[in-house]
Each structure stands twice: as structure tokens, then as C-alpha cells.
Amino acid sequence: NAGVTQTPKFRILKIGQSMTLQCAQDMNHNYMYWYRQDPGMGLKLIYYSVGAGITDKGEVPNGYNVSRSTTEDFPLRLELAAPSQTSVYFCASSYPRDTTNTEAFFGQGTRLTVV
Amino acid sequence: RKEVEQDPGPFNVPEGATVAFNCTYSNSASQSFFWYRQDCRKEPKLLMSVYSSGNEDGRFTAQLNRASQYISLLIRDSKLSDSATYLCVVNYAGGTSYGKLTFGQGTILTVHP
């Protein structure tokens, strides 16, 4: 059982380049999330999705786009990379059967540097 | 005001010590609460859920006070392996925000010999 798989693990981008961070889960979870974590800080929610075809903005969505065409995949797109987007990006998924059971499972993260 | 706020830390304690972390949340519509643990340069992992009646898992005890919008985590008999960042997490379940997990900034714990 692979859980949540993120690719790539590391990436260096030049200012203005674009890229897609891939995230896939094989647990049939309907909820998926993208977070970023800056050094010494907590996780900030970028976008999340409650099911295929449905996405919503989190706390810091500017400069990013997402899509959710299938239950399994939730890619994150950076269109015009900026140094402020240098961060560690985590994808997560959960299956909230009820309001008391929303454990999120995380991928191993993508370390992105924009120079 | 941040949606979820934690003790700034860092906490530096000797092995065997008892240490407590606090967390406050601003949205009274919050439905469920968790503590996650994050090791250096790793992904967060669930430590324990927090229930209204309080709950215990070995050396770890979590408490929730809905009236004060406050969550705590107590670690007894600290081990070197407890050194990590502890993240307070709140799930909002109002309107279209159902299932949106919001993280605190984390509290760093270092347990030394």
C-alpha cells in the first residue's frame, strides 16, 4: 500500500518557470490537500479538494492552481515561479467518515527552491 | 489573530521530565482536534486525536476545553525519541469548510540526556 506519493522529491526552478507537483493516493480518500511549510513554520493550506471535480482555496492560494479530475490525483501547478515560493510542499489525503475521524496521511514532501 | 496558535517554544527538557503544550483556536465551529508529530525534514504524522472527555495513550494525554477553545498535550516521562515538532491541528466543519485541516505553527521539543 503506497499511501500518498509525491513527485518530485526535490526541484530547483528559475524565476518565471512553471512546474507541476504531482500527488497521488491509493487509499480511495475523497479529501486531498496541498500545504506549504516554510523553515521553522507550521503548515499553511494552499488548496484542498473534497472530491473529484471540486476544489477550494486555502489560506495561501495565490500563485498556485489545482485540479482534481480523479479521486486518486491532485496536482499542484506553479505558473510563474517566484523566490517566495521556495518551500517544502506536502500533499495529504483523508477520508472523514464523520467529524471525529479526519486523520490526514501525508506524502514525503517536495522541496522546491526558486532561484 | 491566527486560527490556531501554539506555545512558541522551543522546549528543552531532560529525560524523564513532564512537559505540556498548549494550543488555542479561534473558530468555535471547529469540530475535531488532533496532535501531529513532525520529525526533522519529514512529513507530519498523527500522534493522537483529542476528544472532549480527554484521552490518554501511554505517556501522552490530550485534553480539550471547548468553552475556552483550548487544547493541550501532556507528555510524561520524556524520552530522547520524543524530540520533534508537535503540531496542533483543528478541523473546521462549517458550511463549505468541512474537512479543512488547519495547523498551528508547531512547538519544538528537545529532550536531552
pLDDT digits (tens, 9 = 90+) for A38-88: 987 889 999 999 899 999 999 899 999 999 999 999 999 999 999 999 999
Task: Looking at the complex, report in whole angstroms how far the Cα of residue B109 sits from the nearest Cα belonging to chain A.
Answer: 13
In this structure, the number of other CB atoms found within 10 A of the CB of residue B30 comes to: 22
Question: Considering chain B, what is the average pLDDT of its residues?
Answer: 89
Q: Determine the residue type at B42.
A: K
Question: Considering chain A, what is the average pLDDT of its residues?
Answer: 91
- Residue B91 is predicted with a pLDDT of 83
In this structure, the number of other CB atoms found within 10 A of the CB of residue B106 comes to: 26
Q: Are residues B27 and B2 in contact, defined by beta-carbon separation less than 8 angstroms?
A: no
Query: Residue A104: which of B22, B34, B83, B5 has the closest Cα?
Result: B34
Per-residue pLDDT at A23 exceeds 90: yes
Nine cell digits for residue B92: 473546521
- Residue A97 is predicted with a pLDDT of 56
Interface contact flag, B101 A92, Cβ < 8 Å: yes
Lowest model confidence (mean pLDDT) among A91-95, A106-110, B16-20, B107-111:
A91-95
Q: Are residues B17 and B80 in contact, defined by beta-carbon separation less than 8 angstroms?
A: no
Task: Collapse the DSSP code of B35 into the 3-class scheme (helix H, G, I; strand E, B; otherwise coil) and give the result.
Answer: strand
Task: Looking at the complex, report in whole angstroms how far the Cα of residue B66 sits from the nearest Cα belonging to chain A.
Answer: 14
- Residue A101 is predicted with a pLDDT of 59
Angstrom distance (rounded) from CA B46 to CA B43: 10
- Residue A58 with chain B: CB contacts under 8 Å: 100
Cα distances (angstroms) measured from residue B57 to each of A98, B23, B48: 22, 19, 8
Angstrom distance (rounded) from CA A100 to CA A89: 26
Query: Residue A73: which of A96, A93, A103, A101 has the closest Cα?
Result: A93
Per-residue pLDDT at A22 exceeds 60: yes
CA dihedral A80, A83, A88, A93 (to 10 degrees): -30
User: Can you state the percent helix, strand and coil of chain B, rounding each to 5?
Assistant: 5, 55, 40
CB distance from B101 to chain A under 8 Å? yes
Cα distances (angstroms) measured from residue B36 to each of B54, B101, B103: 16, 12, 9
- Residue B104 with chain A: CB contacts under 8 Å: 42
Q: Are strands B11-14 and B107-112 parallel, antiparallel or unpaired?
A: parallel
Name the interface residues of A facing B (CB cutoff 8 Å).
31, 33, 35, 41-45, 48, 50, 56, 58-59, 90, 92, 94, 96, 99-104, 106-109
Q: Are strands A76-78 and A19-25 parallel, antiparallel or unpaired?
A: antiparallel
Interface contact flag, A109 B46, Cβ < 8 Å: no
Chain B contact probe: residue of A36, A47, A74, A100 with most B CBs at under 10 A: A100
Angstrom distance (rounded) from CA B71 to CA B90: 10
CB distance from B48 to chain A under 8 Å? no
